[in-house]
Amino acid sequence: MKIKYLGTAAAEGWPGVFCSCKYCKEARKRGGKNIRTRSSTLINDSLMVDFPPDTYCHIINFGIDLSQLRYLVITHSHQDHFYIDDLKLRRSVFAHLDEGSVLEIYGNRAVESIMNEILNNSDILKEYLNIHYVPPFETFEAGDIKVTPLLALHARTEDCYIYIFEDRDGKRMLYGNDTGIFPEETWEYIKGCYFDLVSLDCTMGPGQDGNNHMGLPDNIKVKERLIEMGCADEATRFVLTHFSHNGGLLHDELVELAKPHGFDVAYDGFEVFI
Ligand SMILES: [Zn+2]
Ligand SMILES: [Zn+2]
Ligand SMILES: [Zn+2]
Ion ligand 1: residues, CB within 5 A, are 80, 178
Q: Are 269 and 4 in contact (CB under 8 A)?
A: yes
Sign of CA dihedral 155, 148, 98, 127: negative
Measured from the Cβ of residue 67, the count of other Cβ atoms closer than 10 Å reads 13
**Antiparallel, parallel or unpaired: β 145-151 and 161-166:** antiparallel
Query: Helix (H, G, I), strand (E, B), or coil: what is residue 68?
Result: helix
Ligand 2 center–CA 20 separation, angstroms = 6
Ligand 2 center–CA 244 separation, angstroms = 8
Ligand 2 center–CA 158 separation, angstroms = 28
Ligand 2 center–CA 179 separation, angstroms = 21
Ligand 3 center–CA 81 separation, angstroms = 7
Which helix or strand (DSSP H or E) is residue 220 part of?
helix 216-228
Ligand 2 center–CA 137 separation, angstroms = 37
Which parts of the chain register pLDDT below 50? none
User: Which residues touch 96 (CB under 8 Å, ≥6 apart)?
Assistant: none
pLDDT of residue 105: 98
Q: Please state, in angstroms and rounded to a whole number, the distance separating the CA atoms of residues 39 and 211.
A: 19
pLDDT of residue 11: 97
Structure letter (DSSP) for residue 183: P
164 conformational bin, left if phi > 0, alpha if psi -120 to 50, beta if neither? beta
The full set of domains in the chain, from first to last, is 2-273 (3.60.15.10)
Q: Are 197 and 174 in contact (CB under 8 A)?
A: yes
Query: Which ligand lies nearest the alpha carbon of 34?
Result: 2
Ion ligand 2: residues, CB within 5 A, are 16, 19, 21, 24, 245
